[in-house]
A and B are shown apart, each in its own frame.
Chain A
């Protein structure tokens, strides 16, 4: 059974860089069939796709966040990570990682999510 687990700092100061990591277990991150993605959800609000990465290193970003997002993959650790720079209170959210099918676009499974709060 494929499991994804996010880890993050919990609290980040405004204007700094938020970093979260997703560890994949029960399967390889190096499958060509899948991307690995980040989705966020501000408290009480909806889901917003942030970015995807393929094990080959190909990346795809939400245009509205592109300038502040860096996504990377470490196949040796079966992990992928997200950096979001110049954060503000509006970036406070639960960050989910998920596996995304390359062709069909669906996300499954999802990690449990990690809440990152941006403080001033």
Chain B
């Protein structure tokens, strides 16, 4: 079970939009609309941002949005704010009630 592939880092300026990709295989991301995204600030626990590819949990800003095409899921953050600077992880269902995380992406807000 190899980790989903994410870019190690991305950056964007305040107010801009950025997209983080998450590439898996036809056995995980490509087979299920069960991708979730998490935000993690330093020293803190991860926080659920997006589930089932495109859905928001209560209380999460709609500046965060998700999508999927084939074996690749994406997280887009619009109107970048300073507090968006964090690590982001994708996670996909991968059959038989197992899940797999991406390697994580560090977002820097310039």
List chain A positions with a Cβ less than 8 A from chain B. Answer: 35, 39, 46-49, 52, 60-64, 96, 100-101, 104-113
Contact = CB atoms under 8 A, between A and B. Distances in A.
What secondary structure prevails in chain A residues at the interface with B?
Answer: strand
A46 to B, nearest CB: 4
B48 A108 contact: yes
B: interface residue count bin:
20 to 34
B46 to A, nearest CB: 6
Nearest to B96: A60
B101 A46 contact: yes
Contacts of B103: 46
B93 A105 contact: yes
Given A47-B104, A107-B38, A108-B57, A60 B48 contact: no
B27 to A, nearest CB: 12
A107 B46 contact: yes
Contacts of B89: 46-47
B101 A110 contact: no
A106 B36 contact: yes
Contact of A62 (B38, B98, B104): B98
B30 interface: no
A106 B101 CA distance: 11
A49 B98 contact: yes
B52 A48 contact: no
